Each structure stands twice: as structure tokens, then as C-alpha cells.
Amino acid sequence: MPEFNAPLRDMRFVLHEVFQGPALWARLPALADAVDAETADAILEEAAKITGQLIAPLNRSGDEEGVGFEAGAVTTPEGFKEAWQTYRDGGWVGLAGNPAYGGMGMPKMLAVQFEEMLYAANCSFSLYSALSAGCCLAIDAHASEALKATYLPRIYSGEWAGTMCLTEPHAGTDLGIIRSKAEPQADGSYAISGTKIFITGGDQDLTENIVHLVLAKLPDAPAGPKGISLFLVPKRMVNADGSLGQTNAVSCGSVEHKMGIKASATCVMNFDGAIGYLVGEENRGLAAMFTMMNYERLSIGIQGIGCAEASYQNAAAYARDRLQSRAASGPQAKDKIADPIIVHPDVRRMLLTMRALTEGGRAFATYVGQQLDISKYGDDPAECDSAQRLVALLTPVAKAFFTDTGLESCVLGQQVFGGHGYIREWGQEQLVRDVRIAQIYEGTNGIQALDLLGRKVVADGGQSLAIFAREIRAFCETAAPFSEPLLQALAQLESISQWLCQQAVKDPNAVGAASVEYLHVFGYVAYAYMWSRMAATAHENRAQDPDFYQAKLATAAFYFERLLPRVLSLNASIRAGSTSLYTLSAEQF
């Protein structure tokens, strides 16, 4: 049975050494008294125990059992309820939540490390928590004080859970055409009617109540996305004293039978005049929901990193143990009938690719978390503005690139196992199935790419990209390792960005034709920046822990020599333009 052990040494490396989290928290007033290096390490240690010892052992059994559905009620697999009770008792849902309502108030830099552990241990279990945390963010940012006081403490505590209800049978990416309706009631509430699909955790038996955030339209709402409002719809009504009352008119119609994440309930939810409460302003619901969606997009990106880390750990262990053939340079394990497959170049290529992408992703997730902390807690307006713009620019990259490379890594991990990778008991095929959804939900990666190139680069003329580029160049001025290839790759990114801004003026298809390749160029350049920063830290501290830091430098060299050159072919594809995409008529496909 595969095991998961949180990579604590690597996490502390990026959190404390590369990005100097404790120094940042010390200068942010809201965090200075809440967390320091010792507190962060204690949280990570405890998180490693709960994910590795409690949650990971339920991963395969949960996948094989799946969720149950009978008489409109969902049941989670054996062991999930007990694990959730322990999980909620530890306060893990509210790790980064607002302390005013019972959250722990920890920085996002720390929270992303915990989320990676969760996804690596058990994707299905993690999703119940991730949706609850995101739901809290939207309520905290946009709901009335009464709603916040009623709902946030109970979701942070894990007694209740949250969901996000956007998609309808006919409306996915184009939410402007949703049909769910909200009728105003005399008491100030609303009657919500409609059907939502693909609702993660729409029903389950882990919590006493479920709080749905639902997009719907008022009777006189403008057409399109400008006519969408956001409503809080509880599964069970809440009495004035905080106790639970009658069941609301919301029900689960069915659960989906999926390729992966089988222990996560993906529900069709029916709202039949359910009582709901407006969150934020009328017809401004999509903007309010994006508070949650952007959180979920980063979180789902981290799902890619977590699955890749789990796959890497088991593939590396297998490669050190599996004996097949002799090394090209001659026998290495002379006392055995064959050498471990880790001596073979192609196996090393696969493992190093997994390692370089996963560690680069971990660093980039921590970097985005750092920008989120600065934008939320900083007291310098200019610094906060810069951080906010970087978050907006980098969130689609994080979601899409983490999950694209996460699937690549999981497939490579499966390949290292050979035939055993195709067999259920080794765990690799489940990781491939579980991580695959991450490229699809929370906005497909194609949509993320359009958002990045169309809205975040072309629409602002590359101004946000310039902020990121200036930071990279300033870092390279410190004579950091691998500065030359990093600057060359950055120049290519800037050049292709400028070219695309020009092309978009004369070719309406230019952005859509180039967006996915563009996002990958951006991702590889961002990872190059991360690897240069990690290499600089490793080089500076190499005498303290030679084995650890030498491995970091070697992996960085592999990234720059074998993975960063992928931007060359991507650039060539982008400059080919959109013409070849439209030479066939629709009937010729």
C-alpha cells in the first residue's frame, strides 16, 4: 500500500529560507502576534501527522467504496466521518480563517503547505474542507454582519460545511445564461429555485449542516453576467439561538459517477423555493463569488502539486528497490541479480522531471501565498497594490500550470512502475485519475489561459507582467545562480507578450489560438525564477547541510538544462498564429 510522508524539510526550506516567511509576518501587524517560525513548524508537524496517519490511509479504500446515495441522502466512505471529527477538532478548516469568527488567522504562505499535504494524502477528503474554507472567504468579504456571525464560526469549526453552486446543465463557463431564480420575500429573504450540477460536497454525512452559496437572478435583473446575484442557502434553517431548525427546500437529486475523486460527492442540487439570503449587492454576485473562486483556483492548482508529490515519493522508492537489467556503465549492485532501475537514464529523467516540476510548483505556490499575505495584511499601499496585481496575474498560471504539470508528473510516476503502475494496489493509477479533474473544474485550464493572456496581459498592455519582470531582473542583479538563462527566458516571454498584444488588434482569434501555449511559457519562466531563488539559497547555505542543498542545486541545473528549453518550441507554436486552426470547416471535423 502506498504511503505519504509530508516533505517537511522541503516545505520549511521554501517557507523559512527562500521566502523568509517569519520575517514577513513579523512586519505585518495582523500576523506579528499570531505566528512565528516555531508556531509555523509546530503546525506543519501536526499537519504531517494528521494527513499521513489519519487521512492518507483512507485514500484507496475511499476510492474503492465511493460515496453512497439513497433516498436523497449521501453517505461518505467508511472512516471518513471519524476522520472528519478528528480533523474538525483540530480546527483545520479555519486554519487561515478570520480570528474574529473563530478562525486561526494563519498566513496563506503556511496554508498552502497544509493544502498540499491534504491533497497528497487524499484528494476526495480534502475537497470537503477546501470548499468550506473558500465559502468562508466569500461570506467574510461580502455578507452582512448578521450572516457572518451566524455562519462563519460553525463552518470554521467544521460543524457545518460550505459549497459553491454555479454550474447548471446548460451553463458552465457562460454563467450569464443561468436560469436559477431568486424571488424577494416580505421578510427580506429570497425564494431560490433552480438546478445546479457538479456541486462538490452538495450533500454528505460529515457535518450537521451545509451552507450553499448559490448564483441566481432576480426577476428584474439585467441580462448576462451583470444580472447575477449571490445567495446563502442553508440545508437546514438556523434558529435565532443558533440551533438548527427545519430542513430547507434544497435537495440532492443524484450523485455523479466519476473517473476519480470517487469519495468526494459531486451532486446535482435542486432548489425548490429554498430560503436564501443575499450576499453582497444585487446583481453583483459574480464579483462576490470570484472571491471564493480565486481561492479555489489556487487550491485546486495545489491539488496538482500534492498528487505529483505523492506520485514522486512512491516512484522514487520503487525505483531504488526494483531490480531490472544492468546499468549501461556496468553493474552497480554486484551482489544482486540486476541493478535497481534508478541507474537507468530514462528512469532518472522521469524522476528528475517530477521532482523539478513539483518543487518548482511548491515554491511558486508559496510565492503566490506571500503576495496574498502582503495584499491582505500589508500597511504600505504601494506594496499592497503591487501584490494584488501580482495575485491577479499569477492565479490563472498557478491553477493551470500546477495541474497540467501535476498530471504530467503523475503519468511519469505511473510509468516508472511499468506494469505495476497500471495495477490498483500500487496507487499510481488512482493518482492519475484523481488529478485529472483538476485541469477541468474551477474553470478549465483553457479558460485560465484565456484569462491570463486576454484579461491580465493584453487588456492592460502588459503592465502587471512588467511588475513581475522588474522583480525578476532586480533579483538577477544579485548575481544569483542561473541568472543568464532566466533572463533569456524572461526576454522571450516579454517579446512574445508584446507580439501578441499587437496581433490581438488585427486578429480576433490571436489570443485564443495562443493562450494555452502562452500560459505554459509563463509557467516555465516563473518556475525558472523560483529555481534561481532556491539555488541562491542552497548555494549560500550549502556548508550547513551539504546533501540537502547539493540535491537542490543539482535539480535546479536539471530544470534549466532539460525543462526550461521547452519555451523555445512553445514560442514557435505561438508565432505560427491562428490561421491553421481555421482552415477546416466545421463539417470537415
Dihedral (CA of 220, 224, 225, 226) sign: negative
515 Cβ contact list (under 8 Å, min separation 6): 446, 449, 450, 452, 453, 454
CA 504 – CA 496 distance, rounded (Å): 12
Average pLDDT, the chain: 97
Spatial contact of 413 and 315, defined as CB atoms under 8 Å apart: yes
Closest CA to 524 of 563, 551, 553, 578: 563
267 CA to centre of own chain:
21
CB 274 within 8 A of CB 268: no
Give the pLDDT confidence of 210-244 residue by residue, as tens digits. 999 999 999 999 999 999 999 999 999 999 999 99
Which amino acids are annotated catalytic?
442
Bridge-partner residues for 272, per DSSP? 193
Task: Sort strands 209-216 and 190-200 into parallel, antiparallel or unpaired.
Answer: unpaired
DSSP conformational letter for 217: B
Sorting pLDDT into bands at 50, 70 and 90, what band is 76? very high
pLDDT band at 24 (very low <50, low <70, confident <90, very high): very high
**What pLDDT shows up at residue 296?**
84
361 band by pLDDT with thresholds 50, 70 and 90: very high
Q: Is 136 helix (H, G, I), strand (E, B) or coil?
A: helix
Q: How confident is the model at residue 130 (pLDDT cuts 50, 70, 90)?
A: very high
> Which contiguous run of DSSP H or E holds residue 99?
none
**Which pLDDT score, from 0 to 100, does residue 1 have?**
65
pTM of the predicted structure, to 2 decimals: 0.97
Q: Model confidence at 291, in pLDDT bands (50, 70, 90)?
A: confident
Tens of pLDDT, residue by residue over 427-464, are 999 999 999 999 999 999 999 999 999 999 999 999 99
Domain coordinates in residue numbering, the chain:
444-582
126-130: Cβ within 8 A, 24+ apart: 126/55, 126/303, 126/306, 127/200, 127/201, 127/261, 127/264, 128/84, 128/161, 128/200, 128/201, 128/204, 128/206, 128/264, 129/87, 129/92, 129/93, 129/158, 130/296, 130/299, 130/300
Per-residue pLDDT, 2: 81
Of 78-87, 291-300, 375-384, the range with the lowest mean pLDDT is 291-300
- List of residues 6+ apart from 312 with CB closer than 8 A: 351, 354, 355, 358, 409, 413
